[in-house]
Amino acid sequence: MGRPKALLLFGGEPLVVHIAGVLKRLFHDIVVVAAPEQELPALPVTLVRDEVAYQGPVAGIYYGLRAAKAEIAFVTSCDVPFLNLSLITYLLSQISDYDVVVPYCQGRFQPLHAVYRRSVVPFLAEQLERSELRPIYLYKKVRTREVSEDEIKRLDPDGLSFLNMNTEQEYRDALRCWEELRRGGNAAQDTSAACVVELFSVARLLAKTAKVSLALPQQATLADVLSALAERLPMLVGPVIAPDRRSLTSGNACNINGREFVRDSRIKVNPGDSIFIVSADAGG
Amino acid sequence: MYGFHGRLLHIDLTGQKSSWHELEESRLRAFLGGIGLGTSLLYDFAPPGVEPLSPANPLIFTSAPLAGTGLTTTAKFAVVTKSPLTGFIADSLSSSFFALELKRAGLDALVITGRASSPVYVLVNDGKVEIRDGGQLWGKSAKETESLIRAELQEEAVRVAAIGRAGENRVRFATISNEGRHAGRGGVGAVMGSKKLKAIALRGHDAVCVADPVGVAAIADSMRQRSLGTLTAKYREIGTVANLALFNRLGTLPTRNFQQPTFDHAEALSGESLTENNFSRRHGCACCTIRCERLFKSLTGAEQRLEYETLFALGPLCGIEDPESVIRAAQLCDHYGLDTISTGGTLAWAMECADKGLLPEAQDLGLSFGKAGALLKTISAIAERSGLGALLAEGSRRAAIEVGGESAYWAMHVKGLELPGYEPRSLKTMALGLAVNPRGACHNRSGAYEADFSAQVDRFRADPGRGTLVAASEDFGAVLDSLIVCKFLRKCFTDFYAEAADLLSRVTGWSCSDAELRQVGERINTLKKLFNMREGWQPQDDWLPPRLLGETLPTGVAQGVGLTVNELREMIQGYYRAREWDENGFIPEKKLKELGLPAEVQNVQTV
């Protein structure tokens, strides 16, 4: 392409910043692996450099896993603008008896959209020593869960998660797709822009349901989620959702993806987010 | 004196005598009532180094300035002693009519020392003290004991706190119970049993005088209204059992002895499902508008109160997935007078030992994660100290020392007190709170988890700044527990210290400020620490079980999250700094002077 893909602008921000922001929804520890001299914007991540350049994805995975604090890591490249958190969550859920969970779609393994245990680091080190630079060699040595195309389509029907860019034309196509999604013009993506609201405690008893899916406009905020929820479950207005239908009453709180508790209802909600509505008081 | 009687009753069971003593106003103002007053009296009455189950260890019941004022959620009392489980301070709260009667009995504190030669119970009736034969009560449950004493005295209005078989047998995590509620943690029931004291019965008519009755009534009315809003809806509508489903989803539900933070069968045990399938009725303590108690029906039709901690400890922690078994286990614990958290924690330890081939007796019993039948049998064995129960009655720390090998790694306690249902690795502020609290692994004396369940911090990350949050939470808790106001009302205050100072001023006639109350909280926690130091506390006692520092979480949203030794060490240092203690956690003389506390304990530093 002739210029760093990590710095391509999407919505006015470099792609790597966007990707880190999306992943922050699911992960507390993010490692970015960069080439020795590569320039990057300031990011709230752990930054490591390839010790030897041009060793391909095996080296990237190796250096990243080596720096990761968690036992399990999701690995992605920095040229994929349409990460789908529901799919990533699904991949993570499959790791229990495996060392690697890797999608097989579009006719090949997707090693840079896969989940790895840190225990595979020695295998990767050995591969690098032998110059076995294809990740597929690893999959033969460790317990690997191959995720089928059918499984993937259930969560990402158009396979946008794997759309990367190697030419200027592909970048322009991706930008067009990005704009379409922002305008909400793509019916299929409207579905993936949905979020799931999980209800706990008083909210769940009132609604008599534990979970609802809501279709949301692109760039939706938490206030939009609450508004849509009030529409769907009007019995929550008053005890849980404030009369303005865009905030919670005192005594209730919101958590996104089990990670962040959020106070500000202007916060943006990403496609695939799980929004928990909980009683604010955890005591007892 | 307003708000207090200014009197302490001391009963010596060895000498069969009692005496009344003045309680100085200066002490009451410095420590209030409840756990503050109890801590202060423990420090003075307990001989340094006293053996917890010896006659000399004082068992102290304290009332509080707000008890009997009509303010919602204040019918509470404290029990303070040296814990047979931890060797440090045990301070437990209980509530309801016994608390009101304690105040009406005309005393602020009841201190019991000595040991009777045969089982007795104590009756305090309008200032008259009797030590009565308790032989016919020995062997009965606390509930049966309450009924039998009422029948014997032919007095329905008498209020009773009693121990069950577990207390009689000095199970180190036995409770003292009254009206189905328990002073639960730290083994206060074992201390009572060691004195051969089966029960305390109270009857009194001493009215409580407050300095500004109109002002107190107005605040009581306001708090009553606030207690019925959305801030307490969780407690009113579903109870604390609501925590289970959420904690599971947040990756903070300790399961199978803290091997994982999620439970595959959480849905069946969730408070929401129990409410739908097993709910019987709602109940509350005396003088409480929140009424958080939820009674659930078992298949036999029997009602059982369940709280989150009981549900977690006898459910996921032991791998038990069937609500009926958890209800039955809770019934047994209440019947015998066992702390459900320590019972579940010790059983989970034994299950892991059995699963890993380290405890043949447990294997013989069929004790294993998820095996409800063996769990129920073992609860009875613990209370009776029979077979394997004799070992488990000692709590997980002592049992692990006895068994040896790797078993210490699976004993999930701090200072000997088994951990409550908050996974420390995914709740970093709580991790610190559990490590440093003088009572041991306690979720009541420190509400550090509140920061983790808010936008205030990233709960997966550790930083030294958590020390300030934990210290503030402990001090806040100490004031609440000494006034005493139930913690479930805490969110209903707009500015707690200012409102509490105003309320206390109207009750006592003192002119209290919010700054004074803040210092009271700090003073109480510092004196608890001072007591522990006198009883042998060392810096390594402020720590977490090795499993929490050696394993990352394997499941749920917190998968891969861990807690390192350095992270914990830095947070502890941050806590000591926040408390203005030295880097090893000892208290500088300057701080003791500032708080008006005795400085002689400084000798401990040189030990």
Looking at the predicted structure, is the pLDDT value of residue A55 above 90? no
Nearest by CB to A239, from B230, B554, B560: name it: B230
Tell me the backbone φ, ψ of residue B160, rounded to 5 degrees.
-130, 135
- Could you tell me how many CB contacts below 8 A there are between chain A and chain B? 125
Is a pLDDT exceeding 70 seen at residue B187?
A: yes
Q: B232, A263: Cβ pair inside 8 Å?
A: no
C-alpha pair distances (Å), B102 with each of B158, B169, B196, B260, B507: 11, 26, 21, 43, 18
Query: What's A264's domain CATH number?
Result: 3.10.20.30
Answer yes or no: do A164 and A234 share one domain: no
- Mean pLDDT calculated for residue range B424-450: 96
Q: Measured between beta carbons, which residues in chain B are less than 8 angstroms from residue A28?
A: 458, 460-461, 561
Query: Over pLDDT 70: what percentage of chain B?
Result: 99
Residues of A with CB below 8 A from B235's CB? 281, 284
B281–chain A nearest CA distance, Å: 16
Same domain, A126 and A177: yes
Residues of A with CB below 8 A from B453's CB?
A: 253, 261, 280, 282
Q: Do B229 and A251 touch (CB under 8 A)?
A: yes
Give me the pLDDT at residue A239, please. 95
Which segment of A119-133, A265-279, B129-143, B592-606 scores lowest on mean pLDDT? B592-606
User: Is residue A138 located within the same domain as residue A198?
Assistant: no
pLDDT band at A185 (very low <50, low <70, confident <90, very high): very low
| B448 Cα to chain A: minimum distance (Å) | 10
Per-residue model confidence (pLDDT) at position A188: 37
Residues A212 and A127 in one domain: no
- Same domain membership, residue A239 and residue A160: no
SS3 sequence, B146-179? HHHHHHHHCCCCCEEEECCHHHHCCCCCECEEEC
B residues 464..523 contacting A (CB < 8 A) = 487-488, 490-491
> Measured between CB atoms, does A98 come within 8 Å of chain B?
no
> What pLDDT shows up at residue A187?
38
Boundary of a domain, candidates A123, A150, A183: A183
Spatial contact of A34 and A47, defined as CB atoms under 8 Å apart? yes
- Those residues whose C-beta lies under 8 Å from the C-beta of residue B349, and which sit 6 or more positions away, are B257, B396, B399, B400, B407, B410, B411, B412
Q: What are the pLDDT digits (tens) for A201-237?
A: 999 999 999 998 888 877 789 999 999 999 999 999 9
Last residue of a domain, one of A156, A183, A210: A183
Range of the domain at A36: 5-183
In terms of domains, do A64 and A205 share one? Answer: no
Same domain for A131 and A68? yes
Q: Which of the two residues, A56 and B297, has the higher pLDDT score?
A: B297
Q: Tokens 């905020």 correspond to what residue?
A: A221
Nearest by CB: B561 against A28, A92, A279 = A28
The interface predicted TM-score of the complex, written ipTM, equals 0.92
Chain A interface includes B454 (CB < 8 A): yes
| Phi, then psi, of B155 in degrees rounded to 5 | -140, 100
Chain A residues with CB-CB distance to B249 below 8 A: 198, 200, 258, 276
Based on the fold, state whether residues A139 and A260 are members of the same structural domain. no
Mean pLDDT estimate for chain B: 96
Is A282's CB within 8 Å of B307's CB?
A: no
**Nearest by CB: B233 against A29, A198, A202:** A202
Q: Which of A266-275, B302-311, B483-492, B562-571 bottoms out in mean pLDDT, i.e. has the lowest?
A: A266-275
Of all residues in chain A, the one with the smallest CA distance to B488 is A283
A60 and A154 both lie in a single domain: yes
Task: Write out residues 364-403 of B within 8 Å (CB-CB) of A.
Answer: none
| Residues in B touching A71 (Cβ below 8 Å) | 552, 554, 559-560, 562
| B 557-576: CB under 8 A from A | 557-562
Domain B228-412: CATH architecture, name and number where available: Orthogonal Bundle (1.10)
Residues A146 and A215 both lie in one domain: no
Please indicate, yes or no, whether residues A152 and A40 belong to a single structural domain of this protein: yes
Task: Evaluate if residue A128 carries a pLDDT over 50.
Answer: yes
Query: According to the model, what pLDDT value does residue B15 have?
Result: 97
Top mean-pLDDT range of A186-200, B455-469, B508-522: B508-522
Residue A216: inside a domain: yes
pLDDT at A107 over 50: yes
DSSP B113-132: ES--SS-EEEEEETTEEEEE
- Number of domains within chain A: 2
CA-nearest of B522, B502, B508, B514 to B594 is B522
Chain B: residue nearest A199 by CA? B246
Query: How sure is the predictor about B270, in pLDDT bands with cuts at 50, 70 and 90?
Result: very high
In this prediction, residue B188 has a pLDDT band, given cuts at 50, 70 and 90, of very high
In this complex, is the C-beta atom of A22 within 8 Å of any C-beta atom belonging to chain B?
A: no
Given A183, A206, A228, which residue is the final one in a domain?
A183
Interface check for A28 against chain B (CB to CB < 8 A): the answer is yes
Least confident stretch, A147-161, A172-186, B28-42, B303-317: A172-186
Residues 6+ apart with CB under 8 A from B65: B3, B4, B28, B32, B33, B483, B504, B507, B508
Question: B425-544+564-606 sits in which CATH class?
Answer: mainly alpha
Q: Do B556 and A258 touch (CB under 8 A)?
A: yes
Q: What is the pLDDT of residue B602?
A: 44
Find the residue in B nearest to A258 (Cα).
B250
Subunit contact A201:B449, Cβ cutoff 8 A: no
Percentage of chain B lying above the pLDDT 90 cut: 96
Region B564-569: mean pLDDT is: 96
Mean per-residue pLDDT of chain A: 87
What ranges do the domains of chain B cover?
A: 7-203, 228-412, 425-544+564-606
pLDDT for position B303: 95
- Chain A residues with CB-CB distance to B458 below 8 A: 28, 260
| Torsion of the alpha carbons at B337, B341, B345 and B346, rounded to the nearest 10 | -20
**Mind listing the pLDDT tens digit for each residue in B97-147?**
999 999 999 999 999 999 999 999 999 999 999 999 999 999 999 999 999
Tell me how close the Cα of A282 comes to any Cα of chain B, in angstroms. Answer: 7
Residue A284 lies in a domain: no
What is the CATH classification number for the domain harbouring A11? 3.90.550.10
Round the CA-based radius of gyration of chain A to a whole number and report it.
20
Q: Is the pLDDT of residue A13 over 90?
A: no
CA distances (Å), origin B306, targets A107, B142, B167, B298, B309: 54, 18, 21, 11, 8
Shared domain for A253 and A198, answered yes or no, is yes
pLDDT tens, position by position, B221-249:
999 999 999 999 999 999 999 999 999 99
- Range from A152-161, B117-126, B426-435 carrying the lowest mean pLDDT: A152-161
pLDDT of A29: 86
Task: Look up the CATH architecture of domain B7-203.
Answer: 4-Layer Sandwich (3.60)
Per the domain annotation, does A268 fall within a domain?
yes
Q: Summarize pLDDT for B18-76 with one digit per residue, the tens.
A: 999 999 999 999 999 999 999 999 999 999 999 999 999 999 999 999 999 999 999 99
Does the distance separating the beta carbons of B560 and A70 come in below 8 Å? yes
- Determine the pLDDT at residue A52: 81
Q: Residue A149 corresponds to which amino acid?
A: E
pLDDT score of A283: 64
CA distance B524 to B509: 22
